[in-house]
Structure 1
């Protein structure tokens, strides 16, 4: 573990965005020739529904209504894939959690063996949401709070309080629809297809994790946020590094760094088989190395890749000499350049042959039509002692990044849907530069592999609903805070500090009023009352960061 930086290094922390440029940006990238965690590509059948399971009693499965069938030219089955739906450390072990995937609501809970379980969020009795239920403190079973029916981790009904015999609970119709679930790289993954064929395939396939991030020398935190636009628009945006200097000006980049990006794609043959250049040989698309960082325009060290259906990643590869070159090119006074070179040398000389990587990993989840969930992490295995902050503080900064996109992308999608151009974007939009190459690659893939939503879920366009106010598009509490253990705790602490400061201000003001006017004691009490009131106001402003903060591009620094 790297020791904390000496006190004299503190000024450089503020220069981290300059020191690394895109190192702290939202979109780091991915290299070629990665061979970790190869997955054998399996033949994919037609889309299957979630099924009721009765493993404990050995009964056969019964199919639920099927999602829309694949149309001509489509070949990816979204139901036969592992999807991350939550961050494991953020789930409350004694409270069921509702998540959404492909238009279907699911419930997550932890049983008495401390194993996470998942099921369709629907009681077989009267279809009440099981996520409104409770976890039995002794059995770990999930209890529906409508009539008290209980279900174990396999979906078996273990108790019907109103029944006079065990026959009612023994019926397959009493079962909840359980879903395969596992924990990998700190995330909760579910497999929505529970047909016999789907279950067999779930035991062969593995979640699309990035194994490097589990190594102890990588930093960074997982972050989740529900987005007010569709899965396809989310991935389109993740694969668009050209928007960073403009949409995120003053946050992770600046408008002056906007420049041509020479992005080209690897051929499809490079995405499958034992010699595949992407992470899991699972298709999708992958860029060739390109230069993104302003100080390394002549050094293509970044790649981006999409692996269906959920993983989008960037990976940048550095050497100690490359980082020294970054410092040399930065417009810094000589003393700060010398300090930067020293810090880079200090961090890299211990193991000069160690590969230095910086990742952005984003998982895109289609929750409902017009909505999506993003789970992401930025991390690196060098200079990890710089810019360290708490998880809650890191999330507030990440909010600011996504706030720069949310209104833009929601309104963009409304125009896509209003004009009906999603199926013919290349002919409807003007995409003349190499920087648009990833957008074209995504739309070409998605046009052949449309989502199969759950039965009865209509893929309606955004123009059929009223335009939401900005307070909804940029809302943070329901989109993130209530799902995040770190931010829930930070919000509670902030509220407590605000109330204590306000109470202290009131007491000090009363003391100042009771003392003889003009005395040092009364003046001191009044001054402390003002300071306490100011502290309360600052905590109130900090509290807003967990709920909603307006973001207007025109008011950012020009």
Structure 2
């Protein structure tokens, strides 16, 4: 009924809002960074800089010197463990305090508190855990207290360092990529199990045999702060070890955990973090966390994850799985953005979703709209224009997506280039050596041949036995030829390896 002035009235409760800035964000892999220099990064469109101080701790500052706002990421980490702005020489300590200004008449320590505060740079709470560098996106004393009291998103096996040390848990090397599509499209993609056997044909499943009807059932109902979790009512792709249960767990703001339990009492956890960097882009950081059974066995067919492999090789091969989805997600985001602006509705309202396979995608979109504002809270002034990469070379650019951010791959690339030169020169030297040795042998045997011919004219039977082998290459010549071919083959292989540091293209039309 209609309310009158005397009726009690309770306003409908507004949906609880997700607190974007009250969480830890993984922003980089610690071992991939060069600790002797500062590194730029973006979070919520804000320019930040990571650097390692004199105590061996990573720090995160706003990437702007308070003097005239030059980027500190173009500066230097000095031997005294302070960050130097390379424009005018201002130096900063671990907490962002200004330590020195060369142009000042007196030391900064003698300035007033207000003057010192004006010369400080904004510093964000930072910590290192499970090999990742985490940043809390608020500054100030109160933010540090909140950060200290807040746990990072994850799950017990991820943080079980004792289990990793014992060998009960295998945590694979972290993968890091800057992707050309937004944070929400990454989350939408990895909460969608239906695409796996189709998009990842010949890697995980078969696009013609494995797609099937299935339902997603709630394990944890949607909530503003805790996200949601859904399980599948059946195994979606075949595996050597039958799956007894599987679930997809979205823990906002960054984590999606895809868990599979197997008949062998083993478990796999695909740990996927997506960090909002700029509109239309995000940073992916992920790994596999494998849990052994009581017999110390890994899931059947996954033992190769525990095998030793050069990290750079893992890094350059990892994009295959991502690049199979990348072309879809990059263009999908831009198509949806354009059509939603024309229609004046949220993007998911344009989707056609007649099967329950899209349940978690739609629930994520509902969570995003209802509790998280329907958009990432970019810092004021962020350009929200979405740029389209029509050129596949730009879309599959692995140098800017990973290599330039990873000192392991930078070192490996230099090594590949060096060994290309070495094997090229070695192949030529070995080939020339073989030719020279053979020529010398032929010259030597020519004299023998002349003597044999003379003996033959005199009727010597022994000369007849020597003539057929006069010009057969010696074992030394064969060895030099083999070395030349070996160095040439190595050079060709290095030539095929090097481009993968720069781009890794993929075509669904050619994936038969």
Structure that is richer in strand per residue: 2
Structure 2 vs 1, CA of residues 525 and 267 (structure 1 numbering), >3 Å: closer, same or farther? closer
Q: CA deviation at 1:466?
A: 5.0
Contact kept, 8 Å, 2:243 with 2:261, in 1: the verdict is no
Q: Which blocks of at least 5 consecutive residues in structure 2 are unaligned? A: 1-13, 443-470
Aligned partners of 2:235 and 2:134: how far apart in 1? 32
3-state SS of paired residue (1:287): strand
3-state SS of paired residue (2:99): strand
Confirm or deny that 1:164 pairs with 2:84: no
Q: Deviations over 1:391-411 (max 9, x none)?
A: 333333321111111112111
3-state SS of paired residue (1:98): strand
TM-score if structure 2 supplies the norm length? 0.80
Q: Name which of 265, 268, 284 aligns with 1:358.
A: 268
3-state SS of paired residue (1:405): helix
Confirm or deny that 1:471 pairs with 2:426: no
Q: CA deviation at 1:476?
A: 1.1
Aligned partners of 2:156 and 2:268: how far apart in 1? 13
Q: CA deviation at 1:528?
A: 3.7
Contact kept, 8 Å, 2:319 with 2:504, in 1: the verdict is no
- Hey, what does 1:326 align to over in structure 2? none
Q: Name which of 144, 149, 152 aligns with 1:207.
A: 152
Q: Which blocks of at least 5 consecutive residues in structure 1 are unaligned? A: 1-71, 273-281, 321-354
- Hey, what does 1:392 align to over in structure 2? 312
- Equivalent residues, number: 438
- Hey, what does 1:82 align to over in structure 2? 24
Aligned partners of 1:252 and 1:494: how far apart in 2? 30
Confirm or deny that 1:257 pairs with 2:210: yes
Contact kept, 8 Å, 2:339 with 2:347, in 1: the verdict is no
Aligned partners of 2:243 and 2:424: how far apart in 1? 55
Confirm or deny that 1:542 pairs with 2:497: yes
- Hey, what does 1:409 align to over in structure 2? 329
1:2-17 pair list within 5 angstroms: none
Contact kept, 8 Å, 2:25 with 2:254, in 1: the verdict is yes
Q: CA deviation at 1:298?
A: 9.4
Structure 2 vs 1, CA of residues 240 and 144 (structure 1 numbering), >3 Å: closer, same or farther? same
Contact kept, 8 Å, 1:305 with 1:312, in 2: the verdict is yes
Confirm or deny that 1:184 pairs with 2:104: no
3-state SS of paired residue (1:363): strand
Q: CA deviation at 1:260?
A: 2.1
1:90-169 pair list within 5 angstroms: 90-138=32-80, 140-166=81-107
- Hey, what does 1:459 align to over in structure 2? 384
Q: CA deviation at 1:82?
A: 0.8
Structure 2 vs 1, CA of residues 477 and 203 (structure 1 numbering), >3 Å: closer, same or farther? same
3-state SS of paired residue (1:447): helix
Q: Name which of 394, 417, 423 aligns with 1:495.
A: 417
Q: CA deviation at 1:127?
A: 1.0
3-state SS of paired residue (1:358): strand
- Hey, what does 2:291 align to over in structure 1? 381
3-state SS of paired residue (1:224): strand
Over the aligned positions, Cα root-mean-square deviation in angstroms equals 2.5
Q: Deviations over 1:295-344 (max 9, x none)?
A: 48996501111111111111112342xxxxxxxxxxxxxxxxxxxxxxxx
Contact kept, 8 Å, 1:290 with 1:303, in 2: the verdict is no
Contact kept, 8 Å, 2:39 with 2:73, in 1: the verdict is yes
Aligned partners of 1:100 and 1:531: how far apart in 2? 45
Confirm or deny that 1:268 pairs with 2:209: no
Q: CA deviation at 1:490?
A: 3.1
TM-score if structure 1 supplies the norm length? 0.73
Q: CA deviation at 1:224?
A: 0.6
Contact kept, 8 Å, 2:216 with 2:230, in 1: the verdict is yes
